């Protein structure tokens, strides 16, 4: 039976042994065209812990960037931000001027919202460029990470003097610093903490009751979030709040799926043209990157748009199938693409057999 095959696939994907354990897998999928919905989970909150279920929050890591981009595009739609205006129109000039100060001279005034969204600024990655920050994943910091501390660290380590390239609309280099800066910009323009902005603009309108910005606000539930692993290191035990606007959100896969459907259907925007800005692609080796979204066609899969995170949380939409899929494997070294490759053929048949639940159609986003 297709439903049994799906359950077997989920159970087989969980592995609590070896150098890179996968303690849990949580997935949600739906198809407006097929009018079906499916959700499944297997495994434990952490090795040796309680079992996960549909109410277990998961860490999104870089899938957070898609939420941050959605807020930025809302502000663009409202006229509070412009895509191609220098950031000095919104942030202190001295701060902006100092962000990108490589051998070619200061280029801070070449930084724009569009370039931040699409990773075409050349800003060095504040997480990956410095091993000492990654080492903090294994050793809890003496103080919680705040945006102010992150920027102090960025300048203290001289990353502003080591840009990857001059800002260029056609050159892409993924950097968490771009979304650290977008989070800073959101707070400056809105006059609120980033966590409050997410809640006001996305969580409450969509009813995402489980969602929160981890380490920057209290969790809305006492249910333990699923622990992600980096090899055998249980990262869920450590305060990794340095992700912030580029990777700090947590929520259930059910709420993540609700957001993903709503975003691509345009429900977070007033004008249809704003939704199209999500798909303002710059070419990348894998396909393209837009506003907090990527497009690609991994081997053995149809073309997709989506985003993935370090611990293999992901959102994906397959236009040819009109199929939305999101979930996580909670392991940095796991192969989420292979899981999706094995999962896709099983989903429609499982839905027809009754393993899926009918849902109302939401329209094809046609990215």
Cβ–Cβ < 8 Å for 151, 188: no
Is the pLDDT at 356 greater than 70? The verdict is: no
Taking the C-alpha atoms of residue 184 and residue 97, their distance in angstroms, rounded to an integer, is 15
Q: pLDDT of 315-335, one tens digit each? A: 999 999 999 999 999 999 999
Q: List, for residues 140-184, the tens digit of each pLDDT value.
A: 555 677 899 899 989 999 999 999 999 999 999 999 999 999 999
Kindly report the backbone phi and psi dihedral angles of residue 135, in degrees, each rounded to the nearest multiple of 5, phi listed first. Answer: -60, -25
For 18-34, write each residue's pLDDT tens digit. 899 999 999 999 999 88
Strands 229-230 and 313-318 come out as unpaired
Tokens 């840009």 belong to 163
Task: State if pTM tops 0.85.
Answer: yes
Say what the pLDDT of residue 352 is.
Answer: 61
Instruction: With a cut of 80, say whether residue 349 has pLDDT above it.
Output: no
**Structure-token pair, residue 7:** 């359950």
CA angle, corner 309, sides to 109 and 270, nearest 5?
60
Average pLDDT over every residue of 116-122: 98
> pLDDT digit string (tens) for 235-250?
887 766 778 999 999 9
Indicate the pairing of strand 24-31 with strand 323-328. antiparallel
Q: Give me the domains of the chain, ranges plus CATH numbers.
A: 2-351 (3.40.710.10)
Q: Contact 364/52 with Cβ under 8 angstroms?
A: no
Q: Please report which residue ranges of the chain form alpha helices under DSSP H.
A: 2-13, 64-77, 93-99, 113-118, 131-135, 147-156, 176-190, 194-198, 204-206, 253-265, 272-276, 336-343, 347-352
Exposure letters 254-269 (e unless 16+ CB within 10 A, then b): bbbbbbbbbbbbbebb
Q: With a cut of 80, say whether residue 350 has pLDDT above it.
A: no
Q: What is the mean pLDDT of the chain?
A: 91
What kind and span of H or E run contains 50?
none
Question: Using CA atoms, how far apart are residues 72 and 83, in angstroms rounded to an integer?
Answer: 9
């Amino acid at each position: 039976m297709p439903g049994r095959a799906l359950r077997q696939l989920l159970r087989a994907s969980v592995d609590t042994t070896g150098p890179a354990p996968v303690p849990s897998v949580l997935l949600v999928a739906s198809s407006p065209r097929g009018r079906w919905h499916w959700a499944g989970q297997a495994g434990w909150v952490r090795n040796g812990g309680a079992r996960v279920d549909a109410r277990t929050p998961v860490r999104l890591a870089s899938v957070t960037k898609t939420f941050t981009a959605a807020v930025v595009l809302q502000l663009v739609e409202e006229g509070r931000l412009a895509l191609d205006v220098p950031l000095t129109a919104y942030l202190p000039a001295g701060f902006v001027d100092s962000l990108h100060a490589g051998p070619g001279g200061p280029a801070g005034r070449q930084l724009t919202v569009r370039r931040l969204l699409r990773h075409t600024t050349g800003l060095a990655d504040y997480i990956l460029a410095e091993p000492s920050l990654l080492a903090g994943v294994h050793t809890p910091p003496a103080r919680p990470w705040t945006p102010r501390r992150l920027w102090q660290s960025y300048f203290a380590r001289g990353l502003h003097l080591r840009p990857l390239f001059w800002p260029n609309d056609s050159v892409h280099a993924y950097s968490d610093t771009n979304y650290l800066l977008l989070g800073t910009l959101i707070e400056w323009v809105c006059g609120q903490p980033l966590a409050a902005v997410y809640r006001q603009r996305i969580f409450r309108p969509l009813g995402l009751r489980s969602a929160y910005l981890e380490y920057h606000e209290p969790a809305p539930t006492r249910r333990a979030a699923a622990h992600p692993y980096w090899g055998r290191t249980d990262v869920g035990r450590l305060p990794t709040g340095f992700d912030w606007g580029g990777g700090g959100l947590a929520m259930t896969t059910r709420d993540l799926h609700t957001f993903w459907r709503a975003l691509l259907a345009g429900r977070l925007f007033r004008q249809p043209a704003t939704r199209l800005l999500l798909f303002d692609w710059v070419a990348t080796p894998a396909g393209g990157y837009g506003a907090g979204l990527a497009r690609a066609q991994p081997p053995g899969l149809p073309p997709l748009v989506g985003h993935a995170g370090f611990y293999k949380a992901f959102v994906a939409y397959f236009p040819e199938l009109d199929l939305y899929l999101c979930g996580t494997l909670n392991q940095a070294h796991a192969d989420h693409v292979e899981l999706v490759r094995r999962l896709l053929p099983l989903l429609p048949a499982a839905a027809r057999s009754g393993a899926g639940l009918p849902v109302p159609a939401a329209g094809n986003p046609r990215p």
